[in-house]
Amino acid sequence: MTDLVRPRGHQDAVAGLVRSAREGRLPHALLLTGPDGVGKFRAALWLATTLLCEEAGEAPCGACGSCKRARAASHADLFTVDARAHDQDELTIFFVAHREDRPSTAYQGTSIEDFLGLRAAEGRGKFVILREAHRLNEVAQNALLKMLEEPRDGVHFLLETATPDALLETVRSRVVEVRLDGLDRETCEAVLFDAGGFDRTDAAQVEEMAELVRLSGGAPGVAMELSSRRAPELAQLVGEALTGTRAAHEVAAELWEVDGDFEGKTAFVRRRVRAETILDLGLGILADAERCLAGGDPVPLRHGQLAASLAKSGAFASTPARRRMGRAWLEAREDLRLNLSPEGLVDRALASLSR
């Protein structure tokens, strides 16, 4: 089953694309861009399902055979390319083109070429959705480029990514970019309530959700990820270390005890994702504290409260100390790409706080 959910916050953009399609003006390749977790993939799925729906309305009817097949991920004219759903980090040539000589570790499923080789089953066009298109490697992008260069009637490519710069200039020149931005607070909260897992009648959960929405910058997908990683607790601990309310070494141990769910195939990857989350939170708090120091209003900031207290604390009083902290956290974050101990890198960032 796919999550066919109304793309809240992007309804005007999607409605505009549906209208273009009804008038025969939908570009054959779209690239939906915008921050992570704002619902770009869902918007692409909604658009394709709408255009495949037998009712030909402004939204999928949800009840016709086409909508049911789309929801069950069994629609013959809708093909989703998703590296992570197949446990791959990269979208290789095997996702794009038909190759007989596939290594056994490579993706073994249907390629875009295979899919396009079949006639449209229902006559309302064929749609290829490329989730996280930045995962396409160069060989795969070049193979895709050939398909984009020779558009076929009724075939539509819907690419989505938060990092369009990862795509070749040649590919970008063949797609029409549509930007989908972060959602306002109410819309983001509505998406999270829709998704379940939060109880509107529980004051503590409502408060936690407001915190997650702030931390995510209006991206429900990111908010859900931060929730499973227990980011608000981690941010609190990092904030205590930064402001000097608690000793860094004490906080260091607790950061690794917070019972969050960090995704990854191996224990090392999960530890690295935890370190990444911790360091990103620290960098976010430091950046927001700089904004407060420059006279900015803390209220709309992701880390408003923590940042405001850090800006007022002794830790932030000296410019060289502030710079040293910022540099240390940034370097630790960059060094995470090397295969260094995640705990060691977090310790290194925290050590920059000892005054």
Q: Does 13 bind Zn ion (CB under 5 A)?
A: no
∠ CA 321-326-332, nearest 5°, is: 125
Q: Does 45 bind Zn ion (CB under 5 A)?
A: no
The kind and range of the H/E element at 143 are helix 138-149
* Backbone phi, psi, residue 199, to 5°: -105, 115
Q: Does 51 bind Zn ion (CB under 5 A)?
A: no
Minimum separation from the CB atom of position 75 to Zn ion (A)? 11
Q: Is the dihedral of CA 246, 247, 248, 250 positive or negative?
A: negative
Nearer to Zn ion, 67 or 140 (CB): 67
Nearer to Zn ion, 50 or 161 (CB): 50
- Residue among 4, 61, 148, 283 that touches Zn ion (CB under 5 A): 61
Among residues 128, 131, 127, 183, the alpha carbon closest in space to that of 160 is found at: 131
Torsion of CA 220, 221, 223, 229, to 10 degrees: 170
- Which of the stretches 9-17, 67-75, 106-114, 339-347 binds Zn ion when contact is defined by CB under 5 A? 67-75
Among residues 1, 355, 34, the alpha carbon closest in space to that of 177 is found at: 34
- Residue among 32, 38, 45, 53 that touches Zn ion (CB under 5 A): 53
- Which of the stretches 11-19, 32-40, 46-54, 241-249 binds Zn ion when contact is defined by CB under 5 A? 46-54
Q: Does 56 bind Zn ion (CB under 5 A)?
A: no
Minimum separation from the CB atom of position 62 to Zn ion (A)? 6
Q: Does 4 bind Zn ion (CB under 5 A)?
A: no
DSSP codes of every residue in 251-285: HHHHHTTS------SSHHHHHHHHHHHHHHHHHHH
Among residues 102, 170, 182, 178, the alpha carbon closest in space to that of 136 is found at: 170
- Which of the stretches 63-71, 169-177, 187-195, 336-344 binds Zn ion when contact is defined by CB under 5 A? 63-71
Q: Does 18 bind Zn ion (CB under 5 A)?
A: no
Minimum separation from the CB atom of position 61 to Zn ion (A)? 3
What is the binding site for Zn ion (CB under 5 A)? 53, 61, 64, 67
